[in-house]
A and B are shown apart, each in its own frame.
Chain A
Protein backbone atom coordinates (compact mmCIF):
# COMPACT_ATOMS: atom_id res chain seq x y z
CA UNK A 1 0.00 0.00 0.00
CA UNK A 2 1.33 3.42 -0.96
CA UNK A 3 1.56 5.92 1.87
CA UNK A 4 0.59 9.52 1.15
CA UNK A 5 3.10 12.35 1.56
CA UNK A 6 2.79 13.98 4.96
CA UNK A 7 3.78 17.61 5.17
CA UNK A 8 4.77 19.36 8.34
CA UNK A 9 5.50 22.91 9.35
CA UNK A 10 9.27 23.32 9.25
CA UNK A 11 9.34 25.71 12.21
CA UNK A 12 7.53 23.18 14.39
CA UNK A 13 10.05 20.37 14.06
CA UNK A 14 13.67 20.08 15.15
CA UNK A 15 15.84 17.81 13.07
CA UNK A 16 18.89 16.33 14.78
CA UNK A 17 22.15 15.21 13.16
CA UNK A 18 21.04 11.59 13.19
CA UNK A 19 17.82 12.44 11.39
CA UNK A 20 15.39 12.47 14.27
CA UNK A 21 12.45 14.78 13.76
CA UNK A 22 11.03 15.97 17.04
CA UNK A 23 8.06 18.30 17.32
CA UNK A 24 8.44 21.33 19.56
CA UNK A 25 4.87 20.76 20.70
CA UNK A 26 5.76 17.38 22.19
CA UNK A 27 6.23 17.27 25.98
CA UNK A 28 9.56 15.60 26.57
CA UNK A 29 10.53 15.58 30.21
CA UNK A 30 14.00 14.49 31.28
CA UNK A 31 15.39 14.50 27.74
CA UNK A 32 18.90 13.61 28.98
CA UNK A 33 17.57 10.16 29.89
CA UNK A 34 16.19 9.48 26.43
CA UNK A 35 18.24 7.87 23.68
CA UNK A 36 17.04 8.13 20.11
CA UNK A 37 19.05 6.05 17.67
CA UNK A 38 18.11 8.07 14.60
CA UNK A 39 15.46 8.76 11.97
CA UNK A 40 12.71 8.67 14.57
CA UNK A 41 9.71 10.96 14.27
CA UNK A 42 8.09 12.35 17.42
CA UNK A 43 4.89 14.20 16.57
CA UNK A 44 3.09 16.97 18.43
CA UNK A 45 1.26 16.32 21.70
CA UNK A 46 3.43 13.31 22.46
CA UNK A 47 4.43 12.93 26.13
CA UNK A 48 7.63 11.12 27.13
CA UNK A 49 8.40 10.79 30.84
CA UNK A 50 12.16 10.51 30.75
CA UNK A 51 12.49 11.80 34.30
CA UNK A 52 11.07 8.61 35.77
CA UNK A 53 14.18 6.48 35.93
CA UNK A 54 15.88 4.02 38.21
CA UNK A 55 17.32 5.39 41.35
CA UNK A 56 21.01 5.24 42.11
CA UNK A 57 24.15 5.47 40.01
CA UNK A 58 24.88 3.52 36.84
CA UNK A 59 22.82 3.26 33.73
CA UNK A 60 20.08 5.78 34.04
CA UNK A 61 18.44 5.91 30.66
CA UNK A 62 14.71 5.57 30.81
CA UNK A 63 13.99 5.31 27.08
CA UNK A 64 15.97 3.51 24.41
CA UNK A 65 14.32 4.12 21.08
CA UNK A 66 15.65 2.57 17.87
CA UNK A 67 15.70 3.70 14.25
CA UNK A 68 12.76 4.56 12.01
CA UNK A 69 10.23 4.73 14.83
CA UNK A 70 7.11 6.87 14.65
CA UNK A 71 5.50 8.19 17.81
CA UNK A 72 2.26 9.73 16.58
CA UNK A 73 0.20 12.59 17.95
CA UNK A 74 -0.99 12.56 21.59
CA UNK A 75 0.76 9.35 22.52
CA UNK A 76 1.93 8.86 26.10
CA UNK A 77 5.06 6.95 27.01
CA UNK A 78 5.70 6.22 30.65
CA UNK A 79 8.32 3.80 31.98
CA UNK A 80 6.79 0.95 34.00
CA UNK A 81 7.17 0.89 37.78
CA UNK A 82 7.14 -1.86 40.40
CA UNK A 83 8.65 -2.93 43.67
CA UNK A 84 11.71 -5.02 42.92
CA UNK A 85 13.70 -6.58 45.78
CA UNK A 86 11.90 -4.33 48.24
CA UNK A 87 12.86 -1.15 46.41
CA UNK A 88 10.41 0.83 44.36
CA UNK A 89 11.64 1.86 40.96
CA UNK A 90 10.87 2.79 37.40
CA UNK A 91 12.41 0.55 34.78
CA UNK A 92 13.73 1.53 31.34
CA UNK A 93 11.55 1.08 28.28
CA UNK A 94 13.25 -0.38 25.22
CA UNK A 95 11.78 0.22 21.82
CA UNK A 96 13.61 -1.35 18.86
CA UNK A 97 13.62 -0.37 15.19
CA UNK A 98 10.68 0.21 12.82
CA UNK A 99 8.05 0.63 15.50
CA UNK A 100 4.93 2.61 14.69
CA UNK A 101 2.70 3.84 17.51
CA UNK A 102 -0.67 5.25 16.46
CA UNK A 103 -2.47 8.32 17.79
CA UNK A 104 -3.73 8.56 21.39
CA UNK A 105 -2.05 5.36 22.49
CA UNK A 106 -0.64 4.90 25.98
CA UNK A 107 2.47 2.74 26.28
CA UNK A 108 3.90 1.47 29.56
CA UNK A 109 5.62 -1.58 28.12
CA UNK A 110 8.96 -2.97 29.28
CA UNK A 111 10.16 -3.74 25.79
CA UNK A 112 8.88 -3.56 22.26
CA UNK A 113 10.68 -5.51 19.55
CA UNK A 114 11.38 -4.54 15.96
CA UNK A 115 8.75 -4.30 13.21
CA UNK A 116 5.84 -3.62 15.51
CA UNK A 117 2.71 -1.74 14.53
CA UNK A 118 0.56 -0.37 17.35
CA UNK A 119 -2.73 1.15 16.20
CA UNK A 120 -4.70 4.13 17.45
CA UNK A 121 -6.12 4.42 20.99
CA UNK A 122 -4.25 1.35 22.22
CA UNK A 123 -3.20 0.85 25.82
CA UNK A 124 -0.14 -1.26 26.44
CA UNK A 125 -0.01 -2.28 30.10
CA UNK A 126 2.89 -2.20 32.51
CA UNK A 127 5.81 -4.54 31.85
CA UNK A 128 4.22 -5.94 28.70
CA UNK A 129 6.81 -7.47 26.42
CA UNK A 130 6.10 -7.31 22.72
CA UNK A 131 8.39 -9.36 20.52
CA UNK A 132 9.30 -8.73 16.87
CA UNK A 133 6.79 -8.52 13.99
CA UNK A 134 3.57 -7.87 15.88
CA UNK A 135 0.49 -6.05 14.65
CA UNK A 136 -1.75 -4.56 17.34
CA UNK A 137 -5.14 -3.44 16.09
CA UNK A 138 -6.72 -0.07 16.92
CA UNK A 139 -8.41 0.22 20.35
CA UNK A 140 -6.68 -2.84 21.80
CA UNK A 141 -5.91 -3.03 25.50
CA UNK A 142 -2.98 -5.21 26.45
CA UNK A 143 -2.91 -6.23 30.10
CA UNK A 144 0.10 -5.68 32.32
CA UNK A 145 2.90 -8.30 32.24
CA UNK A 146 1.70 -9.83 28.97
CA UNK A 147 4.24 -11.36 26.61
CA UNK A 148 3.22 -11.28 22.97
CA UNK A 149 5.08 -13.68 20.74
CA UNK A 150 6.44 -12.87 17.29
CA UNK A 151 4.20 -12.80 14.21
CA UNK A 152 1.01 -12.22 16.21
CA UNK A 153 -2.00 -10.19 15.19
CA UNK A 154 -3.53 -8.83 18.39
CA UNK A 155 -6.96 -7.32 18.76
CA UNK A 156 -9.77 -6.49 21.19
CA UNK A 157 -9.67 -6.13 24.88
CA UNK A 158 -9.40 -5.63 27.71
CA UNK A 159 -7.60 -7.99 27.62
CA UNK A 160 -6.48 -8.23 23.99
CA UNK A 161 -6.02 -11.64 22.44
CA UNK A 162 -3.98 -13.05 19.61
CA UNK A 163 -6.43 -13.59 16.77
CA UNK A 164 -4.22 -14.86 14.00
CA UNK A 165 -0.63 -15.11 12.90
CA UNK A 166 1.13 -12.84 10.46
CA UNK A 167 2.77 -13.98 7.21
CA UNK A 168 6.51 -14.43 6.91
CA UNK A 169 7.00 -11.28 4.86
CA UNK A 170 5.87 -9.06 7.77
CA UNK A 171 9.41 -7.89 8.43
CA UNK A 172 9.89 -6.58 4.89
CA UNK A 173 6.43 -5.03 4.81
CA UNK A 174 6.86 -3.12 8.05
CA UNK A 175 10.41 -2.10 7.18
CA UNK A 176 9.40 -0.62 3.84
CA UNK A 177 6.41 1.02 5.44
CA UNK A 178 8.39 2.77 8.16
CA UNK A 179 11.15 3.86 5.78
CA UNK A 180 8.50 5.11 3.39
CA UNK A 181 6.83 7.04 6.20
CA UNK A 182 10.13 8.71 7.10
CA UNK A 183 10.97 9.61 3.50
CA UNK A 184 7.50 10.99 2.86
CA UNK A 185 7.47 13.05 6.06
CA UNK A 186 8.60 16.28 4.45
CA UNK A 187 8.55 20.00 5.28
CA UNK A 188 6.04 22.21 3.54
Chain B
Protein backbone atom coordinates (compact mmCIF):
# COMPACT_ATOMS: atom_id res chain seq x y z
CA UNK B 1 0.00 0.00 0.00
CA UNK B 2 1.46 3.40 -0.93
CA UNK B 3 2.37 5.78 1.87
CA UNK B 4 0.09 8.54 0.55
CA UNK B 5 -3.02 6.73 1.78
CA UNK B 6 -4.13 7.79 5.23
CA UNK B 7 -6.95 5.96 6.92
CA UNK B 8 -8.37 6.96 10.28
CA UNK B 9 -8.04 4.33 13.00
CA UNK B 10 -11.79 4.24 13.65
CA UNK B 11 -12.78 3.58 10.05
CA UNK B 12 -13.07 0.13 8.59
CA UNK B 13 -11.70 -0.80 5.20
CA UNK B 14 -12.31 -4.35 4.04
CA UNK B 15 -9.77 -6.39 2.15
CA UNK B 16 -9.94 -6.44 -1.65
CA UNK B 17 -10.63 -2.71 -1.74
CA UNK B 18 -8.75 -0.96 -4.52
CA UNK B 19 -7.22 2.34 -3.45
CA UNK B 20 -4.98 4.21 -5.89
CA UNK B 21 -3.18 7.51 -5.28
CA UNK B 22 -3.52 10.09 -2.53
CA UNK B 23 -6.57 9.18 -0.48
CA UNK B 24 -7.54 10.36 3.01
CA UNK B 25 -10.32 8.53 4.81
CA UNK B 26 -11.89 10.17 7.87
CA UNK B 27 -13.09 8.56 11.10
CA UNK B 28 -15.98 6.11 11.23
CA UNK B 29 -16.18 5.17 7.55
CA UNK B 30 -17.01 1.67 6.38
CA UNK B 31 -15.65 0.65 3.01
CA UNK B 32 -16.93 -2.70 1.87
CA UNK B 33 -15.17 -5.27 -0.34
CA UNK B 34 -14.54 -4.63 -4.03
CA UNK B 35 -14.96 -0.87 -3.78
CA UNK B 36 -12.42 1.21 -5.64
CA UNK B 37 -11.21 4.70 -4.86
CA UNK B 38 -9.00 6.02 -7.60
CA UNK B 39 -7.25 9.35 -7.16
CA UNK B 40 -5.47 9.71 -10.47
CA UNK B 41 -6.21 13.40 -11.08
CA UNK B 42 -5.76 14.74 -7.58
CA UNK B 43 -6.23 13.73 -3.95
CA UNK B 44 -9.55 12.44 -2.57
CA UNK B 45 -10.56 13.43 0.95
CA UNK B 46 -13.37 11.40 2.46
CA UNK B 47 -15.08 12.78 5.59
CA UNK B 48 -16.51 10.87 8.51
CA UNK B 49 -19.24 8.22 8.79
CA UNK B 50 -19.63 7.31 5.15
CA UNK B 51 -20.69 3.89 3.93
CA UNK B 52 -19.15 2.86 0.65
CA UNK B 53 -20.66 -0.40 -0.55
CA UNK B 54 -19.51 -3.11 -2.92
CA UNK B 55 -18.20 -2.25 -6.37
CA UNK B 56 -18.57 1.49 -5.87
CA UNK B 57 -16.15 3.52 -7.98
CA UNK B 58 -15.04 6.89 -6.69
CA UNK B 59 -12.73 8.43 -9.22
CA UNK B 60 -10.97 11.76 -9.36
CA UNK B 61 -10.49 12.08 -13.10
CA UNK B 62 -7.16 12.92 -14.68
CA UNK B 63 -8.45 16.17 -16.16
CA UNK B 64 -9.59 17.75 -12.90
CA UNK B 65 -6.28 18.22 -11.06
CA UNK B 66 -8.10 19.43 -7.97
CA UNK B 67 -8.90 17.98 -4.58
CA UNK B 68 -12.12 15.98 -4.44
CA UNK B 69 -13.81 16.45 -1.09
CA UNK B 70 -16.49 14.09 0.15
CA UNK B 71 -18.42 15.24 3.23
CA UNK B 72 -19.87 13.35 6.15
CA UNK B 73 -22.71 10.85 6.46
CA UNK B 74 -23.00 9.82 2.83
CA UNK B 75 -24.22 6.41 1.72
CA UNK B 76 -22.94 5.01 -1.55
CA UNK B 77 -24.84 1.86 -2.44
CA UNK B 78 -23.65 -1.01 -4.59
CA UNK B 79 -22.04 -0.32 -7.93
CA UNK B 80 -22.61 3.43 -8.01
CA UNK B 81 -20.00 5.57 -9.69
CA UNK B 82 -18.84 8.98 -8.60
CA UNK B 83 -16.72 11.11 -10.90
CA UNK B 84 -17.66 14.66 -9.92
CA UNK B 85 -15.68 17.45 -8.25
CA UNK B 86 -16.99 16.95 -4.75
CA UNK B 87 -19.85 15.79 -2.56
CA UNK B 88 -21.50 17.49 0.44
CA UNK B 89 -23.06 15.84 3.46
CA UNK B 90 -25.82 13.28 4.07
CA UNK B 91 -26.39 12.22 0.49
CA UNK B 92 -27.70 8.84 -0.55
CA UNK B 93 -26.50 7.50 -3.85
CA UNK B 94 -28.44 4.37 -4.57
CA UNK B 95 -27.61 1.20 -6.46
CA UNK B 96 -25.96 1.66 -9.88
CA UNK B 97 -26.53 5.43 -9.89
CA UNK B 98 -23.91 7.69 -11.36
CA UNK B 99 -22.81 11.22 -10.59
CA UNK B 100 -20.49 12.32 -13.36
CA UNK B 101 -19.41 15.80 -14.41
CA UNK B 102 -17.55 18.92 -13.37
CA UNK B 103 -19.76 20.12 -10.53
CA UNK B 104 -20.16 19.59 -6.81
CA UNK B 105 -23.08 17.64 -5.45
CA UNK B 106 -24.66 19.52 -2.53
CA UNK B 107 -26.14 18.21 0.69
CA UNK B 108 -29.09 15.93 1.51
CA UNK B 109 -29.60 14.70 -2.04
CA UNK B 110 -30.94 11.29 -3.01
CA UNK B 111 -29.93 9.86 -6.35
CA UNK B 112 -32.23 6.96 -7.15
CA UNK B 113 -31.49 3.56 -8.61
CA UNK B 114 -29.68 3.79 -11.92
CA UNK B 115 -30.23 7.54 -12.27
CA UNK B 116 -27.61 9.79 -13.78
CA UNK B 117 -26.71 13.28 -12.67
CA UNK B 118 -24.41 15.31 -14.87
CA UNK B 119 -25.18 18.90 -13.88
CA UNK B 120 -25.53 20.98 -10.75
CA UNK B 121 -28.60 20.20 -8.65
CA UNK B 122 -29.99 22.02 -5.63
CA UNK B 123 -29.53 20.83 -2.05
CA UNK B 124 -32.17 18.36 -0.95
CA UNK B 125 -33.15 17.11 -4.39
CA UNK B 126 -34.42 13.60 -5.00
CA UNK B 127 -33.68 12.19 -8.45
CA UNK B 128 -35.92 9.26 -9.29
CA UNK B 129 -37.80 7.35 -11.98
CA UNK B 130 -36.77 6.33 -15.46
CA UNK B 131 -36.48 9.88 -16.84
CA UNK B 132 -34.29 11.23 -14.02
CA UNK B 133 -37.24 13.26 -12.66
CA UNK B 134 -36.56 15.55 -9.72
CA UNK B 135 -38.42 16.65 -6.62
CA UNK B 136 -37.56 18.22 -3.29
CA UNK B 137 -36.69 15.94 -0.41
CA UNK B 138 -39.38 16.13 2.25
CA UNK B 139 -38.43 13.48 4.78
CA UNK B 140 -36.62 14.30 7.97
CA UNK B 141 -32.85 14.31 7.80
CA UNK B 142 -32.66 12.97 11.36
CA UNK B 143 -34.14 9.63 10.27
CA UNK B 144 -31.39 9.27 7.72
CA UNK B 145 -28.72 10.12 10.28
CA UNK B 146 -30.02 7.72 12.92
CA UNK B 147 -30.46 4.87 10.42
CA UNK B 148 -26.98 5.49 9.14
CA UNK B 149 -25.55 5.42 12.64
CA UNK B 150 -27.20 2.12 13.54
CA UNK B 151 -26.10 0.68 10.22
CA UNK B 152 -22.53 1.80 10.83
CA UNK B 153 -22.53 0.39 14.33
CA UNK B 154 -23.84 -2.91 13.08
CA UNK B 155 -21.26 -3.15 10.33
CA UNK B 156 -18.42 -2.29 12.66
CA UNK B 157 -19.56 -5.00 15.04
CA UNK B 158 -19.99 -7.59 12.35
CA UNK B 159 -17.05 -7.12 10.04
Q: Which residues of A contact B (CB under 8 A)?
A: 27, 29, 47, 49, 51-53, 55, 76, 78, 81, 83, 88-90, 106, 108, 123, 125, 141, 143, 156-158
Contacts and interface: CB of A to CB of B under 8 A. Distances in A.
Given A47-B33, A76-B79, A156-B130, A123 B55 contact: no
A76 B130 contact: no
A80 B96 CA distance: 16
Query: Interface SS of chain A: helix, strand, loop or mixed?
Result: strand
Shortest beta-carbon contacts, A-B, top 7:
A88-B150, A88-B154, A158-B113, A141-B113, A123-B95, A106-B78, A106-B95
Given A29-B33, A47-B34, A76-B55, A83 B130 contact: no
B55 A83 contact: no
Contacts of A52: 158
Contacts of A47: 33-34, 54-55
Nearest to B152: A88
Contacts, number: 60
B150 A83 contact: yes
A143 B157 CA distance: 29
Contacts of B16: 27
A2 B43 CA distance: 52
Contact of A141 (B53, B114, B151, B159): B114
A53 B95 CA distance: 20
A106 B154 contact: no
Nearest to B129: A158
A158 B154 contact: no
A55 B130 contact: no
Contact of A49 (B54, B79, B114, B147): B54
Contact of A123 (B114, B128, B147): B114
Contact of A55 (B54, B154, B159): B154
B113 A123 contact: yes
B146 to A, nearest CB: 9
A27 B32 CA distance: 12
A88 to B, nearest CB: 4
B158 A158 contact: no
A158 B34 contact: no
Most chain B C-beta atoms within 10 Å of own C-beta, residue among A55, A78, A81, A158: A158
A89 B155 CA distance: 9
B120 interface: no
A81 B151 contact: yes
Contact of A51 (B95, B151, B159): B159
A158 B54 contact: no
17 contacts: A27-B33, A27-B34, A47-B54, A47-B55, A49-B32, A49-B33, A51-B159, A55-B157, A81-B154, A83-B147, A89-B154, A108-B95, A123-B114, A156-B130, A158-B112, A158-B113, A158-B114
